[in-house]
């Protein structure tokens, strides 16, 4: 199979013509064309290697041969639908059940995290006979009509908040109303939920469910304070609703210590529904809803068939099974603990050196590094984060931002990310921050840096941008105020990087 | 890879425990376990072959080796997302564009027909700034919350009709308000749409779109009367709405003469959006929305990214491309014309012999044979259709029903269905109808029939059911009234077949 059919310019031109422009590209001014990948490494059309810090979907690593084999073997045998009996779906459900608390024992297979959350919404409403949904501020639960309605991240830009949606404060102890110095932020944030429910009841509304990512991702790589979920679940259940844990980004061992991120909240907390997606098939379109017998029974009682054409087909389940096997065989949860722990330590060390790094948080290989204008105000350093991402791209490291202000550098790499990868990316970040964001130290030109051997520049990307940038940055007319300097550098980089 | 891990009983037991019971099985009293398939043939755990007349998803045939190769090759190279540039997505969009009228030139890739219809709804509303949707009676457009709302087939059983949904009469010239003797049923049915729009306008409602399958499937394998779509599109556009052609069941050459079923309505008709699904990836979860530049531009103008995690990934597109190649190389459209034409002729011949067959309709390999209690009243023969399907299963032919009363035997086989397959299924239908539904002719015992060699009974299914059935059917106490006889036989078969 040819790695490339069209020259990159032609691909880009065709893409602009043929694909809806709402589908955006990373680094839109100079997008990356990736033609090959393996493990945690991406390769562009010139064979240039990029370290991938963000492809959480390619959970066990890009193009794992076990998955290709499992898919091809099953594709050669049978791909039908769930109206025929087949072993793969029950084998797979059984394996997933073993990772979950006993009460989550009934499964529905679908094709995407969005389909899973939509089905969770249907299950919640059918079971509770209530309509309303509580979500966390800045949450994103999917691209479907029903999910935009429960995603503040989207509905604030698209048509506004429906009367049946209630937005609870994000329990963010760095930016939120209760911070790290609060004696019990878990209880305090749970109490905001209680107030919200009381308010909704006063308006005659009835709560069907609380939807939350077990670690809010788009919300900024947030770690819930201790006790939060258990207390919230109590309040929601008292109101006749259920707790839906969206594990689409966080499941399948990403947090290392546990298979599911909700398990970080302790053994005495169990959601009523868990939705799974992204990493579940390592990129193959599969997703799942796990729930209780009671909720499943109520859904069946409506007498209407639920048929999902592709959901739970033998090929998707074979791939899902193979992913579980690789997670176990390669001890990827152990790797997430070791490498994630080391990465977090390195980032915390960087924080001691760079005032720009306001916060480092995370578990396993789900880590956020938040950039701030200054630590006192915690004002998000949005442009600086964007600049850092662009600079890392030049160093052949693919990174991205998240959070309400896109000020959080997010690490969600394939789970085979190594200690060396973690060290490489931290060395790069250190160097970029030192040279470009600590003006007193920024005297050594960028092209003389001592970056690791992987970060050789592509022949397609001459040093013009750096040279031009440096000329501008070191010219006598450059602004000297640190804040203005950041903005100025960002603007320069926006046009040249 | 083992064909079977569990004994069938155990699989069934695990399935009942682990998988939501809303996910139903074919032949629920004695479901079929299929472990292997090739072309148009399914094989159960005992190696017994079934002829597959309904798997429209496995469009180019089950387990086509070209698709397995294409999937494995791309899985080995790269599976990423659309935020990176890649050739497959633009190659694929370009190939699809070549099958469509020029104005449908912008593509969005998603994971299922349901996701495609949900996106079409979003596009329509964003472009028209209107909210309301017109759909045809009995329509089904998907399992998502938003699509149940626009599917009378579902919402009548689940919560009812929303104020923004308007249901137009199904232009069914066999059962509908205008029939085959009407001089211009296309215009007459289109006029019902005009009245519906006028009524909606009187209530202050604003039409965003008309959604219709290009050949209503769940509605009963309906062929639109000539001129219907063009006229309807005019009325809908006059109201500021757009025409969404749901080609999820009917696209990719199933009708033989054309690549898309909407093209049967003439070159002067073009929808504003076409949604694709089921056969597009031969079972791999992929789907697509094609639309105009104007609609895509309006969607982009809202400034919000549309990101679909798996949609349009290099593996899905490689499989989609391989499906298009096979359709062309194996002349599957030509096959649909030849085999579909022959099958329809054979069914029309059966109609002349069997009063139970009220109507035979269809194009290419999309054919419906409607059973009726009597031809004058056209009363649907629901139980008889269910019985025929169960009897065909005994003859190792997998068939199903559709339509508002489940009285339509639907043929939507893999496109490699052969002349011999068509003859075999018609011989079987003839024999079953002759022996079980024409009491005057039903003297020859079933076990002496002359069915083709494929229909040998499985060792797991002894002739007990037939013997018992026949003993009962021929006992002196059997009811003699033909109608009662049908019901009696259906009940007997329900318990024994």
Q: Does A310 touch chain B (CB under 8 A)?
A: yes
Can you give A178-218 as a three-state secondary structure string? CCCCCCCHHHHHHHHHHHHHHHHHHCCCCEEEEEEECCCCC
> What string of DSSP letters covers B163-201?
TTEEEEPP--TTTSSS-TTSS-HHHHHHHHHHHHHHHHH
**For the purposes of burial, counting CB atoms within 10 Å of the CB of A475, is it exposed (0-12), middle (13-18) or buried (19 or more)?**
exposed
Contacts of B155 in chain A (CB under 8 A): none
Count CB neighbours of B299 within 10 A: 23
Across the interface, whether the CB atoms of B19 and A312 are under 8 A apart is answered yes
- Report the chain B residue with the minimal C-alpha distance to residue A95: B18
* Structural domains of chain B sorted by starting position, each given as residue range(s) with its CATH number in brackets: 8-61+332-496 (3.90.1150.10), 65-329 (3.40.640.10)
Name A44's bridge partners: A34
Across the interface, whether the CB atoms of B144 and A143 are under 8 A apart is answered no
- What pLDDT, on a 0 to 100 scale, did the predictor assign at position A470? 38
- What pLDDT, on a 0 to 100 scale, did the predictor assign at position B450? 33
Q: Does B283 touch chain A (CB under 8 A)?
A: yes
> What string of DSSP letters covers A34-103?
EEEEEBTEEEETT--EEEESS--SSTT-BT-HHHHHHHHHHHHH----TTSB-HHHHHHHHHHHTTS-TT
Q: Does A40 touch chain B (CB under 8 A)?
A: no
- Report the chain B residue with the minimal C-alpha distance to residue A281: B310
Q: Does B62 touch chain A (CB under 8 A)?
A: yes
- Report the chain A residue with the minimal C-alpha distance to residue B55: A80
| Mutation to test the B interface, candidates A90, A294, A389, most B Cβ within 10 Å | A90
- Report the chain A residue with the minimal C-alpha distance to residue B45: A86
Q: How many CA atoms lie within 13 A of B108 on its CB side?
A: 34
| Mutation to test the B interface, candidates A69, A114, A413, most B Cβ within 10 Å | A114
The Cα–Cα gap between A271 and A103 comes to 9
H or E stretch covering B21: none
pLDDT digits (tens, 9 = 90+) for A310-356: 999 999 999 999 999 999 999 999 999 999 999 999 999 999 999 99
Q: Does B78 touch chain A (CB under 8 A)?
A: yes
CB pairs under 8 A between A and B: 342
**What mean pLDDT is predicted for residues A148-157?**
96
- What pLDDT, on a 0 to 100 scale, did the predictor assign at position A456? 34
The Cα–Cα gap between B255 and A370 comes to 56
User: Virtual CA dihedral for B340, B346, B349, B351, nearest 10 degrees?
Assistant: -70
Across the interface, whether the CB atoms of B57 and A154 are under 8 A apart is answered no
The Cα–Cα gap between B390 and B494 comes to 8
Question: Could you tell me what percent of chain B has a pLDDT over 90?
Answer: 87
Across the interface, whether the CB atoms of A111 and B107 are under 8 A apart is answered no
Across the interface, whether the CB atoms of B304 and A58 are under 8 A apart is answered no
Q: Is the pLDDT of residue B244 over 70?
A: yes
**What mean pLDDT is predicted for residues B110-132?**
98
Q: Does A482 touch chain B (CB under 8 A)?
A: no
Across the interface, whether the CB atoms of B284 and A315 are under 8 A apart is answered yes
- What pLDDT, on a 0 to 100 scale, did the predictor assign at position A439? 61
CA distance B307 to chain A (A): 6
Which of the two residues, B1 and A490, has the higher pLDDT score?
B1
Q: Is the pLDDT of residue B457 over 50?
A: no
Task: List phi, psi (to 5°) of A401.
Answer: -115, 165
The Cα–Cα gap between A175 and B431 comes to 75
Task: List phi, psi (to 5°) of A290.
Answer: -110, 140
**What mean pLDDT is predicted for residues B75-97?**
98
Across the interface, whether the CB atoms of A310 and B57 are under 8 A apart is answered yes
Count CB neighbours of A376 within 10 A: 8
B207-213 and B132-136 beta bridge pairing: parallel
Contacts of B410 in chain A (CB under 8 A): none
Q: Is the pLDDT of residue B91 over 50?
A: yes
Q: Does A419 touch chain B (CB under 8 A)?
A: no
Across the interface, whether the CB atoms of A85 and B32 are under 8 A apart is answered yes
The Cα–Cα gap between A11 and B97 comes to 16
Shortest CA distance to A88 belongs to which of B443, B308, B4? B4
- Reduced to 3 states (helix: H, G, I; strand: E, B; else coil), residue B131 is coil
Contacts of B309 in chain A (CB under 8 A): 57, 112-113, 277-278
Q: Does B370 touch chain A (CB under 8 A)?
A: no
Q: Does A23 touch chain B (CB under 8 A)?
A: yes
- What pLDDT, on a 0 to 100 scale, did the predictor assign at position B2? 74
The Cα–Cα gap between B312 and B310 comes to 6
- Reduced to 3 states (helix: H, G, I; strand: E, B; else coil), residue B366 is strand
Q: Which residues of B344-383 are buried (b: 16+ CB within 10 A; e: fewer)?
A: bebbeebbeebbbbbbbbbbbbbbbbbbbbeeeebebbbb
pLDDT digits (tens, 9 = 90+) for A360-418: 999 999 999 999 999 999 999 999 999 999 999 999 999 999 999 999 999 999 999 99
Q: Does B460 touch chain A (CB under 8 A)?
A: no
Q: Work out whether the CA dihedral B466, B467, B471, B474 comes out positive or negative.
A: positive
What interhelical angle do A228-238 and A185-202 show, nearest 10? 20
pLDDT digits (tens, 9 = 90+) for B335-376: 999 999 999 999 999 999 999 999 999 999 999 999 999 999
The band of A471, judged by pLDDT with boundaries at 50, 70 and 90, is very low
- What pLDDT, on a 0 to 100 scale, did the predictor assign at position B201? 98
Across the interface, whether the CB atoms of B93 and A19 are under 8 A apart is answered yes
Q: Does B141 touch chain A (CB under 8 A)?
A: no
A49-52 and A242-246 beta bridge pairing: unpaired
B164 touches B337 (CB < 8 A): no
Which of the two residues, B494 and A45, has the higher pLDDT score?
A45
Of A78, A115, A303, the CB nearest to B37: A78
| Mutation to test the B interface, candidates A20, A55, A158, most B Cβ within 10 Å | A20
Across the interface, whether the CB atoms of A31 and B283 are under 8 A apart is answered no
Across the interface, whether the CB atoms of A85 and B31 are under 8 A apart is answered yes
| Mutation to test the B interface, candidates A56, A111, A146, A211, most B Cβ within 10 Å | A111
Shortest CA distance to A311 belongs to which of A86, A67, A57? A86
| Mutation to test the B interface, candidates A82, A87, A323, most B Cβ within 10 Å | A87
**How far does CA B358 lie from the centroid of its chain?**
20
Across the interface, whether the CB atoms of A107 and B75 are under 8 A apart is answered no
Across the interface, whether the CB atoms of B87 and A4 are under 8 A apart is answered yes
Name B168's bridge partners: B136
CA distance B420 to chain A (A): 23
Of A32, A86, A107, the CB nearest to B84: A32
Mean pLDDT of chain B: 90
Q: Does B303 touch chain A (CB under 8 A)?
A: yes
Mean pLDDT of chain A: 90
| Mutation to test the A interface, candidates B1, B4, B22, most A Cβ within 10 Å | B22
Across the interface, whether the CB atoms of A18 and B105 are under 8 A apart is answered yes
Across the interface, whether the CB atoms of A84 and B31 are under 8 A apart is answered yes
**What mean pLDDT is predicted for residues B95-121?**
98
- What pLDDT, on a 0 to 100 scale, did the predictor assign at position A1? 61
- Report the chain B residue with the minimal C-alpha distance to residue A289: B20
- What pLDDT, on a 0 to 100 scale, did the predictor assign at position B439? 60
- What pLDDT, on a 0 to 100 scale, did the predictor assign at position B438? 72
| Mutation to test the B interface, candidates A53, A79, A141, most B Cβ within 10 Å | A79
Across the interface, whether the CB atoms of B22 and A63 are under 8 A apart is answered no
Q: Does B323 touch chain A (CB under 8 A)?
A: no
- What pLDDT, on a 0 to 100 scale, did the predictor assign at position A460? 29
């Amino acid at each position: 199979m040819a790695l490339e059919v069209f020259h990159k310019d032609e691909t880009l031109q065709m893409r602009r013509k043929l694909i809806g422009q709402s589908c955006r590209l990373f680094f839109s001014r100079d997008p990356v064309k990736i033609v090959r990948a393996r493990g945690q490494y991406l390769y562009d059309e010139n064979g240039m290697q990029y370290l991938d810090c963000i492809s959480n979907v390619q959970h066990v690593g890009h193009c794992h041969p076990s998955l290709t084999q499992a898919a091809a073997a099953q594709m050669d045998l049978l791909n039908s639908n769930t109206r025929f009996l087949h072993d793969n779906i029950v084998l797979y459900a059984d394996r997933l059940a073993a990772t979950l608390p006993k009460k989550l024992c009934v499964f529905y297979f679908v094709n995407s995290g969005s389909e899973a959350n939509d089905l969770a919404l249907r299950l919640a409403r059918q079971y509770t006979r209530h309509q309303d949904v509580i979500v966390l501020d800045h949450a994103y639960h999917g691209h479907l009509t029903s999910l935009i309605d429960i995603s503040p991240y989207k509905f604030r830009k698209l048509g506004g908040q429906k009367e049946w949606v209630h937005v609870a404060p994000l329990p963010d102890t760095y930016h939120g109303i209760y911070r790290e110095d609060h004696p019990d932020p878990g209880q305090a944030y749970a109490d905001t939920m209680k107030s919200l429910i009381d308010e909704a009841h006063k308006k005659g509304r009835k709560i069907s469910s609380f939807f939350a990512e077990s670690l809010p991702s788009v919300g900024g790589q947030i770690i819930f304070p201790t006790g939060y979920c258990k207390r919230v679940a109590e309040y929601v259940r008292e109101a006749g609703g259920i707790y839906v844990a969206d594990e689409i980004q966080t499941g399948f061992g990403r947090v290392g210590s546990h298979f599911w991120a909700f398990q970080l909240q302790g053994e005495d907390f169990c959601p009523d529904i868990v939705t799974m997606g992204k990493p579940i098939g390592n990129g193959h379109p599969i997703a799942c809803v796990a729930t209780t017998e009671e909720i499943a029974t109520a859904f069946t009682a409506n007498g209407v068939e639920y048929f999902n054409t592709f959901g739970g087909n033998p090929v998707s389940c074979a791939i899902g099974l193979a992913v579980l096997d690789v997670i176990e065989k390669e001890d990827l949860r152990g790797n997430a603990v070791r490498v994630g722990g080391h990465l977090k330590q390195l980032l915390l060390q960087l924080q001691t050196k760079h005032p720009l790094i306001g916060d480092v948080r995370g578990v396993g290989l789900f880590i956020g590094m938040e950039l701030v204008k200054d630590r006192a105000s915690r004002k998000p350093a949005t442009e600086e984060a964007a600049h850092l991402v662009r600079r890392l791209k030049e160093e052949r490291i693919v990174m991205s931002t998240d959070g309400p202000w896109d000020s959080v550098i997010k690490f969600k790499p394939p789970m085979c990310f190594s200690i060396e990868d973690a060290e490489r990316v931290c060395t790069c970040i250190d160097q970029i921050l030192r040279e470009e964001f600590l003006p007193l130290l920024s005297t050594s030109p960028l092209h003389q840096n001592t970056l690791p051997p992987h970060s050789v520049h592509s022949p397609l990307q001459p040093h013009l941008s750096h040279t031009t940038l440096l000329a501008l940055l070191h010219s006598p007319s450059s602004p000297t105020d640190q804040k203005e300097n950041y903005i100025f550098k960002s603007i320069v980089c926006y046009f040249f990087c």
